[in-house]
Amino acid sequence: MADSQRHPFLHGLSKHRGAPPTVVVIFGASGDLTARKLIPAVYNLGADNLLPAEFFLIGYGRKDIPDEEFRQLAGDAIREFSRREPDQDVWDRIAAHTTYVAGGYDDAEAFKRLAAHIDDIERKLGREVQSLFYISTPPSVFAPILRNLGAAGLARRHFDGPLHARVVIEKPFGRDLASARELNHTIRAVFEEHQVYRIDHYLGKETVQDLLVQRFANAIFEPLWNRNYIESVQITVAEDVGVGTRGGYYEQSGALRDMIQNHTMQLLALTAMEPPVSLDAEAIRDEKVKLLQAIQPLRLGPDGDVARAQYAAGMVGGKAVPGFLEEEGIAADSNTETFAALRLSINNWRWQGVPFYLRSGKRMARRVSEIAINFRRPPGTLFAAGAKFDLAGNTLAFQIQPDEGLSLILNAKIPGLETRTQPVKMSFRYATTFGSNTPEAYERLVLDAMIGDGTLFIRGDEAETSWKLCTPILESWAEAGRAGMDSYAAGSWGPPASEALPARHGHHWRQP
């Protein structure tokens, strides 16, 4: 059985204390992600008794940081970013096995020192340890790290035994199809696919995992989940923030690369895929790839299936904010999009003729990520829309963030002697039902990578299939320069070009 199939999705968690001794090595350990997410995730797994009894954490980076200082930095990160008040005993236990190795990402000798450091841990422990290498650096050094892990023999440690060496790779996974293929090529020269965990942290969110439970653990949805009952599907990943101080980074990225190619495509795949034969990682990922492969090539150019725009000055949260082109680090003639929308057709039995609308942008009316399933309207023989009957289509919306939950819009009779109707919303909120102290996405993902469950990670062919769809859009935009770039006021729901995509089918965007 493949490594990534051993621990099926929705596994019970109690067994992980008994997991073999494990060392987690974080590359880019002095970075922002390490402090805000990874160290707090490790801490909270420790607090929940989900780390192996013998657990070792090694930070790696170019800065020369003594062990004690790294432990101090990690402790500070936990105090600042952990979702719960730190318990000193829990952190002391982890800190006692936390060390730091200084070295360059392209320095083969430094990787030999890292290997020797892990050998040393094993010698002192008197047992072999399995390893998880977490690459949390800018993508420019993903390849040298991978190559050096291979050259130092770290990728194949204990390869034939019961222990494992695994690697987690942060996003972005390439910036187009060619670079994603090249990165996959570099990975495969060193690791087997089942050792590789490509992160899309959206998949670690509770609501995203709940999407599978809602779809396949309830009998009422699946019979309706097709073109006979569903009119359209809308996926929105909206941020209210602008580029802030990250203008330089964003200028090289844009909404399509930053959000659509990964997060929204993943949400689409989970929403629309066929039921997998089991909850094994490979079964689910096979279905996601099949779905992505069934998406028809997009029509580009004017009146096509894509829209892009940049935010102009506007009001957000009652405050005046500048337009994208006035932001620090952004060229006055930048053709980087801060908003992208797509209209997709899926050419299979289930979805033929059902438009899927995807959009993502910065500086939008509010921060929200949701998947909205719009059902067909009933025939108007009894209740025709008019003054007495205010009728809405039924919409099932999965809200992924913030305020995670699920809502269903129904039409109901307004109490009274006259028969009048009004749309009403039935809502389920995670925080209300289960309390708000749910694990963060990174806790789930670090744990799953540690125990070898690849369900919530992206397989190499998935990443390439998604890039295959998005790369022609990027190429056509690069060729067009600023021609066709629309704009929208900061604090709005996007540009007219985006409204035009659903309008062609008589639809309009929801305002979630």
Ligand X SMILES: NC(=O)c1ccc[n+]([C@@H]2O[C@H](COP(=O)([O-])OP(=O)(O)OC[C@H]3O[C@@H](n4cnc5c(N)ncnc54)[C@H](OP(=O)(O)O)[C@@H]3O)[C@@H](O)[C@H]2O)c1
Residue 273: DSSP 8-state = S
Nearest distance, CB of residue 365 and ligand X, angstroms = 23
Would you tell me which residues interact with ligand X (CB under 6 A)?
28, 30-34, 61-63, 105, 136-141, 170-172
Nearest residue (CB) to ligand X, 139 versus 150:
139
Contact 196, 481 (CB under 8 A): no
Nearest residue (CB) to ligand X, 88 versus 140:
140
- Residue 215 structure tokens: 């779809």
Nearest distance, CB of residue 492 and ligand X, angstroms = 26
Q: How many Å apart are CA 206 and CA 209, to the nearest integer?
A: 5
Nearest residue (CB) to ligand X, 29 versus 397:
29
Considering only CA atoms, which of 270, 207, 133, 138 is closest in space to residue 397? 207
Q: Label the pairing between strands 314-316 and 319-321.
A: antiparallel
Nearest distance, CB of residue 170 and ligand X, angstroms = 4
Contact 366, 511 (CB under 8 A): no
Nearest distance, CB of residue 110 and ligand X, angstroms = 11
Nearest residue (CB) to ligand X, 60 versus 225:
60
Cα–Cα–Cα angle for 75, 445, 432, nearest 5°? 85
Nearest residue (CB) to ligand X, 171 versus 285:
171
Q: How many Å apart are CA 354 and CA 502, to the nearest integer?
A: 11
Nearest distance, CB of residue 92 and ligand X, angstroms = 25
Nearest distance, CB of residue 32 and ligand X, angstroms = 4
Facing residues of 421 across strands?
389, 413
Nearest residue (CB) to ligand X, 291 versus 470:
470
**Known active-site residue 263:** yes
Give me the amino acid identity at 247: G
**Beta-carbon contacts of residue 11 (< 8 Å; ≥ 6 apart):** 453
Facing residues of 343 across strands?
357
Residue 483: DSSP 8-state = T
Among 16, 194, 263, 507, which one carries the catalytic annotation?
263
Per-residue exposure over 91-118, b if at least 16 CB sit within 10 Å of its own CB, e if not:
beebbebbbbbbbebeeeebbbebbebb
Q: How many Å apart are CA 438 and CA 440, to the nearest integer?
A: 6
Which amino acids are annotated catalytic? 263
